[in-house]
Each structure stands twice: as C-alpha cells, then as structure tokens.
Amino acid sequence: MSVSGHRCWWRWGLPVLAFVLVFVGMQFDAGWYRQPIARIQTVQTTQVAHPVDNFQNHDRVVTQKLQAVLLNTAKQGQRLTLHNTYSASGAEDAPLAPGNQVFLAHAGRRYTISNIKRDAILMALAAATLVLLGLIVGRHLWLTLVSITANALLFIVALHVEIASHQTLAFLLFSAVAIGFAVITTVFVVGVKPLAAVVASATIGATALGVALGYGIFVWTNYRDLHLETVKYVTQAPQLLFFVQIIIGSLGAVLDESSDIAVAIFQLHDGGKARFHAGMAIGRNVMGPLITVLFMIFIAETFAESVLWLRNGNSISQTVVWVMGLGFAQSLISAFGIVLAIPLTSGLAALAARRTRRLR
C-alpha cells in the first residue's frame, strides 16, 4: 500500500479518536455545572423484588446502595451514601455502576439522585459525527452547520411566538416555518441559483398538495377511526398539532427527492420532454425507498408502545387503531407529498433548465 493510501486510511480513524477524546474530557466537566454531581464508586444490591401485575406481566425490581463522591460545589470531595431503584423493564429507570456520574437533588442534609449524567456520550457522538461529516463533505461542512443552526434558530423563534400567541396563528406560523426550512436548506446546499428556486418551489408545492389531499380525505370520511384524542395529542388543539407534525415531518423526504430529480435534470442536455421523462424515471426509483424509510421510522416510534398495549390485554385491532392509526395516516399523507413531488419537480426543472440553457 502506498504512503498516500496509509494517510487516507488513518483519516477514517479520526472520528473514533474524536469520540474517545471528547468522552474522556467530559468526565471532568462537573465544575461547569451548578447542580451537584457525584461519581459512583461502589454498588451493593440490597433488595430484589419480583412484582406481577394483573395481566401476569413479570418484572424484577432491584434496590442499590451506592457509595459516591461529590465532584463539584463547595462540598467537593464529600462522600455520600445514595440509593437507586431500577426495574428490569427499564421504562423510567436504569441500573448504576461504578464510574457512572449522576445529578443530585439537595434537600436539607440529604442528597437524592435526580438523573443520570449523559453529556459525555452525547458530546462524544456529536464530535464523531462532525468529524465524519468533515471527511465526507469537506469544505461544505460549514454550509451544513450554518444551515442546521439557521433552521434551529427559526424553529426556536417560532415556538416562542406560538406560545405567546396561544395557538391562534399556529397553523400559519408553522406553515411559514416549513417554507423557511425549505428555502434556507436549499439555498445553503444548492446555492443562490435557478436550481434552488426549482427545488424549494417543488418541495413547498408538493408538501402543500399532499397535506391538502390528506385533509380532504379526512374531512370526507369524517375522521373515521382516526383518534386524535390519543395520548400524544391529548393536550389541546389535537387536529392542528396533527397536521403541523405532518408538514414538518414530510418536508425532509420531499426536499431530498426534489433535489435529486432537479440536480439530475439540470445536468442533461436533451429537450424539455426528454428531461421531464428522465425526472419521472428518477422519481420512480427513489420514491419507494423514501416511503419505506418514513414507514420504518413510524414503526420504530410506535413499536414499544404497541408491545405495551398488547402485553396489557388489548387486541391487535385495538392496538393498531389507537397506537398506530395516527402514524399510518401521517405516513400516507407523506407518501402523497413524495408522489406528487415527482411530476411537479420534473416539470419545473425541465422548464427552468431549458430557459437557463437559452439564456446561455
């Protein structure tokens, strides 16, 4: 293997190196926090119980006695005795081991565990991801980061405005946010050029048409078997939140598809009709995987809750209707947008490419 080959191989080890360095470094960041943090030194199991509920679901509940040392505050170095209770099901708790760090709540002279400190693994993953992105996209990394930051700031501002307006303008507000997401992402990724206008217009148009089609179907069927009152939408304005989530959720897939089709069409030198058919062919190829990915994400989000419903005596049909029904509806409307984006992007890109070629 050549010297250049060795150098290229070592570059792909940089994400692992970044992960290790950041993970180790974040083990010593307790001084940055005001909330008390302790490191677990020894663990002793003091009690084990085996509860059974009325559906014959078995669990194992373990109580741990922990010896820990404070890592920050004025009492740094003080040794503590803590207790932790966790279940084998692990729904809202987790076992602790020597070396783990925990946030503490202080009431009088007593300390209790409030949460597990997980910033080390999160920051290490973020560092590894950034380094990997830098290796793949090179100098375009800063454009990606600026795009993500701009979209995040736009979303935060929209949330503050929505809370202040008490949801009176929520649908219009988040529709504007979706348009902003599409425009910002397209401009930073593609640049200020006719191609960006085509991608953004097709993304916004296809998403709007897909949501409008889904809304028409739901109204026509009077929302039959679509339970908007389920847990995730039980707070307020469930119908509004449902459609806002669809708009934001389907935007990324539609944008991905539109950009693939438009970029390919702009690189062709054929006539407008040939370009349109080429875009349609590309869209047919990428449509299936995109819809499948969205469906798989939906399945992953509802899998744990579905198992819980089935384990507690609910039938499969009841679980599908109440747990998976909204997800199926979201996937269906997202699929509408993905399908409609194919002819819309192909037509707009063919027209824009022909006009651009004439101007040259």
Could you tell me what percent of the chain has a pLDDT over 90? Answer: 29
pLDDT band at 1 (very low <50, low <70, confident <90, very high): very low
- Is 251 contained in some domain? yes
Domain finish residue from 117, 137, 155 = 117
Q: Contact 339/269 with Cβ under 8 angstroms?
A: no
Amino acid identity of 281?
A
Rounded Cα distance between 112 and 117, Å, is 14
Task: Tell whether 221 and 99 lie within a shared domain.
Answer: no
Domain finish residue from 90, 117, 144 = 117
Q: What is the pLDDT of residue 212?
A: 92
Which H/E stretch holds residue 289? Answer: helix 272-311
Which residue is it, tokens 């943090």?
Answer: 37
Rounded Cα distance between 276 and 270, Å, is 10
Angle between helices 170-190 and 194-220 (to 10 degrees): 150
- Is 301 contained in some domain? yes
Instruction: Fill in the DSSP letter of residue 193.
Output: S
Q: Tokens in use for 7?
A: 């150098």
In tens, the pLDDT along 257-306 reads 998 898 888 888 777 788 888 889 998 988 888 888 888 887 777 787 88
Rounded Cα distance between 242 and 301, Å, is 15
Task: Tell whether 72 and 213 lie within a shared domain.
Answer: no
Task: Tell whether 172 and 289 lie within a shared domain.
Answer: yes
- Is 8 contained in some domain? no
Domain finish residue from 117, 137, 156 = 117
Q: Contact 207/335 with Cβ under 8 angstroms?
A: no
In tens, the pLDDT along 177-191 reads 989 999 998 888 777
Which H/E stretch holds residue 136? Answer: helix 119-137
- Is 303 contained in some domain? yes
Task: Tell whether 59 and 195 lie within a shared domain.
Answer: no
Sign of CA dihedral 301, 302, 303, 304: positive
Residue 235 has pLDDT above 70, yes or no: no
∠ at Cα 35 (34, 41), nearest 5°?
120
3-state SS class at 62: strand
- Is 49 contained in some domain? yes
Q: Tokens in use for 301?
A: 């989000």
Query: What is the total count of domains within the chain?
Result: 2
Task: Tell whether 313 and 172 lie within a shared domain.
Answer: yes
In tens, the pLDDT along 67-94 reads 999 998 888 889 999 999 999 887 778 8
- Is 48 contained in some domain? yes
- Is 14 contained in some domain? no
Q: Tokens in use for 65?
A: 């006695």
Domain that holds residue 67: 33-117
Task: Tell whether 270 and 335 lie within a shared domain.
Answer: yes
